């Protein structure tokens, strides 16, 4: 079987570790990873519990194709209740940790309770122990990683860790694995630190066995790799420019949110684009981009490794920071560049390094800094609050100050660590927070890409592009082109993307394969690897079931259809430039049809008929 059929349960309160069989009835309904762990969380915690309390649980989870030869089969997720949003949180990451869990023999590790002292979990195959983490508590992710590798004398040890920001209570702290891959959004790292759990260190030597039909699986995966290789996005664009291939494309489309979403195009976009990362700097004749990089089993290799100008002001006190590390992805470059009005590529790269080193979600971080900059320019906050730093749009020095303050949980960093919703509420201007369900927007303006407005508003984890990426259709024409400026028929498009995304996230595969693959490409790989029958039609139903389960969790947590909305700025203030000029987000035209297609009530609740049909 592609599943190991084993779950590790770690009670941090009493320090016990147990083993139990994976619930295969649930696996047949929810597949794995995002779907299956969400089912476990739904059944095991009270959705109204305190996200940072001992009653919340933290689940590391893999998919059935994690660790296999399927292209991009290196994903894992962390599922919990979010402290930032109060919704169900599922943060997906690549790298090598997920496969290592499978090689050690585990589909899932469930952390319960709260340790009385800092600990980390060390796993080697079937052996697991909680180890004192006092030496690495208070250390950055990078420092803790070095110490643990030295302690265990194993270069193949895979480590997921939280940084100082999580320990300081930043509500959008991430879990970083392999130094610069992240389970990034919704504050899953904050939950981990609240349990006094510093790291998970895993070494697996068992490999995988039990693929249902090995020869058919080999054929299916090879056919899938061929499709990826021959597609313009997965075979050319992403390997060459990473997700940063989008910066200039979205800017020209008039959908690049700029200066806290006041504008839809950025005059400095070219300076922080994927193309700019390739170009030699005038100061040292070296490009920002060192090379691309790949996660386990990935044939796309969209990851970026970058260096900083050694004479840049950001590293005057950290000269070692010029070195190779995780470079800018599109969302991070947007959040710490465009949204803050900054076109300093090296400053944004430095801020991204710090987000990796101390574990912060760069999207929420950058968007919160953008909100702070608007508060500053409105005169709501002054240098008195910011520690003497002028938080003006376009200030790279303010960005550097902010990222260091949030990483250490010092000064104005404590306010910034709340996220933009709480920050703006604190200073009496809640309308300046660009969020849905308390989570900050990513890099697509719904005035210029109408489907994304509905996708943001209905996302189960707050504003998110990775829960229904209609940009693929509306901008890139994948799988077919739709008009980004038209709201008609977008409800069906959003639902289809949301349900399919839930399947990709539950399989162990990277969502980026969906630029080239449909579920018709995924189904043969799952069906030949896993027991049971897995047609594309069945996978669509699985995706829909996952989406509705998450929706029900949120309802029980007190998050209703009233949260399916957008900030007033996007609903009332029209775009001033570009193709979307004079357009607002037409959410009211799409939402009723979306509810109807979902089989929900007019106020956004999952109907009894839909629950019965999906077996919820």
Do 396 and 293 belong together in one domain? yes
241: left (phi over 0), alpha (psi -120 to 50) or beta: alpha
Residue 572 CB coordination number (10 Å) = 10
Q: Cα separation of 459 and 351, whole Å?
A: 27
The last residue of one of the domains, among 385, 409, 433, is 433
- Which helix (H) or strand (E) segment holds residue 29: the answer is helix 24-30
Do 74 and 168 belong together in one domain? yes
Q: Cα separation of 287 and 57, whole Å?
A: 43
Is 535 part of any domain? yes
Mean pLDDT over residues 469-494, rounded?
Answer: 97
- Digit-coded pLDDT (tens) for 225-263: 999 999 999 999 999 999 999 999 999 999 999 999 999
- Which helix (H) or strand (E) segment holds residue 609: the answer is helix 608-614
Mean pLDDT over residues 401-421, rounded?
Answer: 98
CATH number of the domain at 297, please.
1.10.569.10
The length of the chain in residues reads: 616
Is 215 part of any domain? no
Is 214 part of any domain? no
Do 582 and 485 belong together in one domain? yes
DSSP letter for each residue of 411-434: TTHHHHTT-HHHHHHHTT-GGG--
- The DSSP 8-state label assigned to residue 515 in this structure reads G
The crossing angle, in degrees rounded to 10, of helices 141-152 and 345-358 is: 50
Is 544 part of any domain? yes
CB 72 within 8 A of CB 522: no
Please identify which residue in the block is written with the tokens 């139990």.
Answer: 20
Q: What was the pLDDT predicted at 321?
A: 81
Do 477 and 414 belong together in one domain? no
CB 594 within 8 A of CB 586: no
The last residue of one of the domains, among 203, 235, 267, is 203
- Digit-coded pLDDT (tens) for 98-109: 999 999 999 999
CATH number of the domain at 452, please.
1.10.599.10
Mean pLDDT over residues 534-546, rounded?
Answer: 98
Domain containing 541: what range? Answer: 443-614
Is 234 part of any domain? no
Mean pLDDT over residues 171-190, rounded?
Answer: 97
Mean pLDDT over the full length of the chain:
97
Do 447 and 425 belong together in one domain? no
- Digit-coded pLDDT (tens) for 543-570: 999 999 999 999 999 999 999 999 999 9
Q: Cα separation of 272 and 335, whole Å?
A: 11
Rounded to 5 degrees, φ, ψ at 441 are -65, 145
Do 193 and 171 belong together in one domain? yes
Q: Is 435 helix (H, G, I), strand (E, B) or coil?
A: strand
Do 556 and 421 belong together in one domain? no
Q: Is 118 helix (H, G, I), strand (E, B) or coil?
A: coil
- Which helix (H) or strand (E) segment holds residue 128: the answer is strand 127-132
Cα dihedral across residues 359, 361, 367, 372: positive or negative: negative
Do 458 and 416 belong together in one domain? no
**Nearest to residue 502, comparing CAs of 489, 517, 519, 487?**
519
Do 55 and 124 belong together in one domain? yes
Q: What was the pLDDT predicted at 392?
A: 98
End-to-end CA distance of the chain: 26
Mean pLDDT over residues 609-614, rounded?
Answer: 97
User: Residue 446 — pLDDT band, cuts 50, 70, 90?
Assistant: very high
User: Residue 23 — pLDDT band, cuts 50, 70, 90?
Assistant: very high
6-11/119-124 β-pairing: unpaired
Number of domains in the chain: 3
Q: Cα separation of 95 and 286, whole Å?
A: 27
Do 358 and 489 belong together in one domain? no
CATH number of the domain at 116, please.
3.60.9.10
Is 385 part of any domain? yes
The last residue of one of the domains, among 433, 465, 481, is 433
Instruction: Give the side-chain half-sphere CA count within 13 A for 475.
Output: 28
Is 384 part of any domain? yes
Do 347 and 494 belong together in one domain? no
For residue 456, whether the previous peptide bond is cis, meaning omega lies within 30 degrees of 0, is no
List CB contacts of 164: < 8 A, sequence separation 6 or more.
Answer: 138, 139, 140, 358, 359, 407, 408, 409
Q: Cα separation of 439 and 312, whole Å?
A: 32
Q: Cα separation of 385 and 136, whole Å?
A: 31
Do 166 and 309 belong together in one domain? no
List CB contacts of 158: < 8 A, sequence separation 6 or more.
Answer: 95, 96, 97, 100, 177, 178, 201, 202, 203
Q: Cα separation of 57 and 137, whole Å?
A: 21
Q: Cα separation of 438 and 461, whole Å?
A: 9
Q: What was the pLDDT predicted at 318?
A: 85
Q: Cα separation of 337 and 345, whole Å?
A: 8
Bridge partners (DSSP) listed for residue 17: 10
- Which helix (H) or strand (E) segment holds residue 550: the answer is helix 536-556
Q: What was the pLDDT predicted at 1?
A: 67
Is 244 part of any domain? no
CB 85 within 8 A of CB 188: no
- Joined together, the tokens standing for residue 249 give 């494309």
């Amino acid at each position: 079987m592609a599943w190991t059929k084993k779950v590790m349960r770690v009670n941090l309160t009493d320090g016990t570790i147990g083993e139990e069989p994976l619930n295969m009835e649930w696996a047949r309904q929810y597949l794995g990873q995002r779907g299956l762990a969400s089912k476990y969380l739904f059944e095991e915690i009270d959705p109204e519990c305190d996200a940072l309390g001992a009653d919340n649980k933290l689940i590391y989870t893999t998919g059935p194709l994690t660790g296999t030869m399927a292209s991009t089969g290196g994903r894992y997720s962390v599922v919990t209740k979010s402290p930032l949003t109060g919704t169900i949180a599922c943060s997906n990451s690549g790298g090598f940790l997920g496969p290592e869990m499978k090689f050690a023999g585990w589909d899932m590790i469930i952390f319960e309770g709260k340790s009385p002292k800092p600990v980390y979990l060390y796993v080697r195959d079937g052996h697991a122990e909680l180890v004192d983490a006092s030496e690495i508590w208070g250390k950055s992710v990078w420092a803790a990683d070095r110490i643990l590798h030295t302690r265990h004398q194993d270069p193949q040890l895979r480590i997921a860790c939280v940084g100082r920001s999580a320990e300081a209570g930043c509500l959008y702290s991430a879990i970083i694995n392999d130094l610069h891959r992240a389970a990034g959004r919704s504050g899953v790292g904050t939950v981990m630190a609240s349990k006094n759990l510093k790291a998970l260190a895993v070494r697996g030597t068992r490999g995988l066995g039990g693929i249902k039909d090995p020869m058919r699986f080999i054929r299916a995966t090879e056919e899938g790799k061929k499709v990826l290789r021959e597609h313009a996005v997965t075979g050319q664009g992403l390997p060459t420019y990473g997700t940063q291939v989008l910066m200039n494309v979205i800017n020209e489309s008039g959908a690049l949110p700029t200066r806290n979403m006041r504008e839809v195009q950025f005059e400095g976009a070219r300076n922080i684009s994927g193309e700019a990362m390739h170009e030699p700097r005038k100061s040292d004749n070296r490009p920002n981009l060192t090379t691309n990089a790949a996660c386990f089993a990935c044939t796309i290799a969209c990851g970026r490794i970058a260096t900083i100008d050694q004479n840049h002001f950001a590293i005057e006190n950290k000269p070692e920071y010029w070195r190779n590390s995780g470079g800018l992805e599109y969302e991070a470059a947007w959040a710490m560049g465009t949204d803050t009005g900054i076109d300093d590529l090296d400053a944004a790269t430095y801020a991204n390094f710090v987000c990796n080193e101390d574990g912060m979600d760069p999207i929420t971080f950058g968007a919160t800094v953008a909100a702070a900059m608007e508060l500053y320019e409105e005169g709501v906050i002054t240098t008195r609050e910011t520690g003497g730093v002028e938080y003006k749009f376009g200030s790279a020095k303010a960005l550097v100050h902010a990222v260091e303050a949030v990483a250490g949980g010092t000064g104005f960093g404590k306010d910034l660590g709340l996220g933009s919703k709480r920050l703006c509420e604190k200073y009496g201007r809640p309308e300046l927070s660009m969020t849905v369900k308390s989570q900050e927007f990513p890099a697509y303006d719904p005035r210029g890409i109408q489907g994304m407005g509905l996708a943001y508003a209905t996302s189960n984890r707050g504003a998110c592009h990775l829960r229904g990426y209609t940009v693929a259709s509306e901008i890139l024409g994948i799988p077919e082109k739709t008009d980004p400026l038209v709201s008609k028929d977008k409800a069906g498009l959003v639902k289809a993307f949301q349900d399919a995304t839930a399947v990709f996230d539950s399989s162990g595969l990277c969502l980026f394969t969906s630029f080239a693959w449909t579920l018709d490409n995924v189904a043969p790989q799952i069906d030949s690897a896993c027991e049971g029958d897995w047609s594309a039609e069945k996978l669509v139903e699985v995706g829909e079931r996952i989406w509705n389960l998450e929706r029900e969790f949120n309802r029980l947590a007190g998050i209703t259809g009233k949260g399916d909305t957008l900030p007033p700025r996007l609903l009332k203030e029209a775009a001033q430039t570009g193709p979307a000029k004079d357009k607002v987000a037409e959410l009211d035209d799409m939402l009723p049809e979306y509810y109807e297609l979902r089989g929900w009530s007019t106020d956004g609740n999952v109907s009894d008929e839909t629950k019965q049909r999906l077996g919820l």
